Amino acid sequence: MSERPYAILHDAQGEPFGVFISAALWAEVQAEVLPVLMAAAGEQQQPEEVFPEPLGDWNDLAAFWDLPYPLDRTVACGQCGAASSDWQADEPRLFRLKACNLGGLARFECQRCRARVTKRHFKDGVKVQTVPFVE
């Protein structure tokens, strides 16, 4: 038995009023769907100069994570000292994801000083490197 990854929700009168999608499906389509939803809801698009984050790559890394420790969301800038316990949760954001791959690399841009913070995840731990911004 396979479950549909989404469902149309109906009110007491049987009228459709919303859509539920599974967390797994949302993780898969979020990067593409969210901008469409925001635009439809009349919310402001992100400014042009803000680069899109490769969130699908991050989600893949999290989904296929097989190292003997949990994938954490901490990021710390070795240049200006900015630090986050969850890079996706800060408001305003301190770090933005620049690159990510299944090999365990996650690269962030510090929003304060524009340094690049690279986290390389190995079996025996995480190696973090900060490279100052160069014009």
Q: Find the shortest distance in angstroms from Cβ 105 to Zn ion.
A: 19
Q: Between 61 and 76, whose beta carbon lies closer to Zn ion?
A: 76
Site string for Zn ion, 77-106 (x = CB under 5 A): x-xx-x------------------------
Q: Find the shortest distance in angstroms from Cβ 114 to Zn ion.
A: 7
Helix (H) or strand (E) holding 83: strand 83-84
Query: Binding residues for Zn ion, how many (CB under 5 A)?
Result: 8
8 Å CB contact between 116 and 99: no
Round to the nearest angstrom and report the end-to-end CA distance of the chain.
56
Q: Between 28 and 96, whose beta carbon lies closer to Zn ion?
A: 96
Distance CA 99, CA 108 (A): 7
Tokens of 20: 């539920």
